[in-house]
Structure 1
Amino acid sequence: MKTAFQIPDAVRDAVNGNWVDTRAPAHWRPWLRLSRIDRPIGTWLLLLPCWWGIGLAMMASGPRWFDLWIYPACAIGAVVMRGAGCTWNDITDRDIDGSVDRTRNRPLPSGQATLRGAYVWMALQLAIGLLVLLTLGRAAIWLGVLSLLPVLVYPFAKRFTWWPQVFLGIAFNWGVMLAYAAHRDGLDLAPIIAWFGGIAWTVFYDTIYAHQDAEYDALIGVKSTARLFGEDTPRWLAAFGALAVTLLAIAISATGIDGFGWWVAMAGLMAFAAHLVWQLYMLDLHDDQNQLRLFRSNRDAGMILAVFLGLAGLLQLAS
């Protein structure tokens, strides 16, 4: 099987052997690449806070049959909304992407896709996301509409702030509130605190990711926490990792869960924390492949927490 690096029009950081590059019809590949289907880690990082939100909601009020739909609805929504967001990002960054080695093969700067086609593709994905959102209740619908604001702003953040990773975190962790609201038809303190915890986690993992482009970003004047932190990055990451774990611990307690369920949730959080510590130990600021591998490993960190929060929520059936 050919790897992404052996396929001339593949994007550099695509997953080797991904089905878009190896099996998808050639005329579909530019659009699937716009949606980052060849790089699914972003979809996972958007989805997992949603699943955190369902777990927290079950911990607060017990499981509901409707949760059996919220879980897959969030998965569908994560695919299409991440795709729409990435398409928008590529539309706004089409000139910058052509100047960066990692992104110059993206569909727009490489000419694989047209600007008009990208707008149509984005609209189609948004329409699918809206159809899913309409099944989740009034509170979730309003939160879904509001989520478009940080999505629209994020691509421009690196032009005016050293902290674009915070803007990414605002958008990528919105789902913890949306999914919680879909279960409970409203919000309380737990998902809001978890949202802030997720933002800290995003600064952690996306700073690692941004180190791949730090030299190019400096040349073209694009800002990031990777450039801001520089060689002090490990200390900053330790602080943001600790902040994420602390806020998520507060969020778990804010659900009101106690007894064995609390211990299960906290065990998941400690495993999540251990994964962040492992990433810090393994981090090499001068090895792009190391940074990409650690960034992708955050799917496992987030999944560990999602599974344990879901289990803690299910335990409320017995309480």
Structure 2
Amino acid sequence: MLEEVERWFADRSWSAADRPLDQLLAAKRAAGTTVSVVLPALDEEETVGAIVEVIRRDLIDGLPLPLVDELLVIDSGSTDRTAEVAAKAGARVVHRDEILPRIPAVHGKGEVLWRSLLATTGDVVCFVDADLRDFSSAFVSGIVGPLLTEPDVQFVKAMYDRPLGAESGEGAFGKAPGQGGRVTELVARPLLNLHWPQLAGFVQPLGGEYAVRRSLLERLPFPVGYGVELGLLVDALHTVGLDALAQVDVGVRLHRHQDGLALGRMAAAIYRTAQLRLSRAHLVRPELTQFERAPEGFVPRTYPVDTEERPPMAGVKEYSGRRVA
């Protein structure tokens, strides 16, 4: 298995600089491939506008052929000016609840990504988190690149340095270089190495930046919460095989970090996603109790661990009906 992972890492790991923009545009024109970029957003007015502006400037406006055909921000219930800022910057903005209203929406990132398939039309769908700072368009062009130039590749993850504390302005690499992916290192990486060792070569398995062929995405179930990245990666492995998966180095990822309690909830959701894929067994207690200090001492707070998944979009009548039309 180690030899297989090392071979895959050598063959399916690239840098964004390996495929210049003119090469990507030529490949896109030749194949007639269309690209949709989706930003799931919840209260991200401080960062979403700059991300949209960079994508429009570098990958849409002023090019002989836009690399990105569709730029969509899905607002999942923001209470700030996220939708207004994104629209002003040049994105099409849709509220989560406007997509597939027949099925009531639930809270969660995976829910938004699943619904985005019905709100977009691109042959390639590229997901980008909306809380990134100092955003580079290489996050998009880098991971879309292999899908335009490598016919056998179907799923591409971004890889990057992920410093801890950089969002506070403590230098280019923050307080702790490479230490930003705490849930990745403490939960996701051990799970993948122990149970899906073929995926051990992914540098950022939980990263929110990845591009996938629609023909694959529509066949995958979507965990509705934080487990969506691990779930999609594992299911893609079983659906199309390791050699259809790849990763691209896009540099450094700066974003807002979650506190320890939020990370605990994320970890529980990711573990649950892995557990379901290992056994499909019933969860004895799909809840997580955490403790917060209050004036009177430690107070227990219990949160549900999301156990719901959305089915493959190919089986949803609104989606299949659109394709027939």
Query: TM-score scaled to structure 1, two decimals?
Result: 0.30
Query: TM-score scaled to structure 2, two decimals?
Result: 0.29
Q: Specify which structure has the higher proportion of strand.
A: 2
Q: Specify which structure has the higher proportion of helix.
A: 1
